[in-house]
């Protein structure tokens, strides 16, 4: 049974940092591209970042470039999303998702590319 479990969310003040983790079981992340998505109240889910299985190429939404960093630790079967300089607009439920195979270009924002999804972790940025 495949499971993706996100953790690391919480309440943080603007300008603060959080690191989200996505731990996989039932699959070996080496062969999967992992995306992070988020959904704010009343809004559609959107792609935040992705790391491809092929060569570790990373992708970011324009809104988080320079602030967020995605990385993976295959030995721990875990992907991380380091989020710095957080803004209230980053408030959302964050989900990780896994796609069996490499991802190129704008494919990473297509939710249909991903076979497995986690349950999400809440990130709230507020004073």
Lowest mean pLDDT among 46-50, 58-62, 80-84, 103-107: 103-107
| Residue 118 in this model has a pLDDT that exceeds 90 | yes
Which helix H or strand E contains 34, and what residues bound it?
strand 32-39
Spatial strand order in the sheet of 18-25: 3-7, 18-25, 78-83, 68-73
Task: Let me know how many helices (H) and strands (E) the chain has, helices first.
Answer: 0, 11
Per the prediction, the chain carries an average pLDDT of 96
Q: In the predicted model, what is the mean pLDDT of residues 90-119? A: 95
Q: Is the pLDDT assigned to residue 108 strictly greater than 80? A: yes
At 86 the pLDDT is 98
Query: What's the CA gap between 9 and 31, in Å, rounded?
Result: 26
**pLDDT for residue 71:** 97
């Amino acid at each position: 049974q495949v499971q993706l479990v996100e953790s690391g969310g919480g309440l943080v003040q603007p300008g603060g940092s959080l690191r989200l983790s996505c731990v996989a079981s039932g699959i070996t992340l080496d062969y999967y591209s992992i995306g992070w998505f988020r959904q704010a109240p009343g809004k559609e889910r959107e792609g935040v970042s992705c790391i491809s299985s092929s060569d570790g190429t990373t992708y970011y939404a324009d809104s988080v470039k320079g602030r967020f960093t995605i990385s993976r630790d295959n030995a721990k079967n875990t992907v991380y999303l380091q989020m710095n300089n957080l803004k209230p607009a980053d408030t959302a439920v964050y989900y990780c998702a896994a796609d069996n195979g490499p991802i190129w270009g704008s494919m990473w924002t297509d939710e249909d590319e991903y076979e497995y999804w986690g349950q999400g972790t809440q990130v709230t940025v507020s004073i």
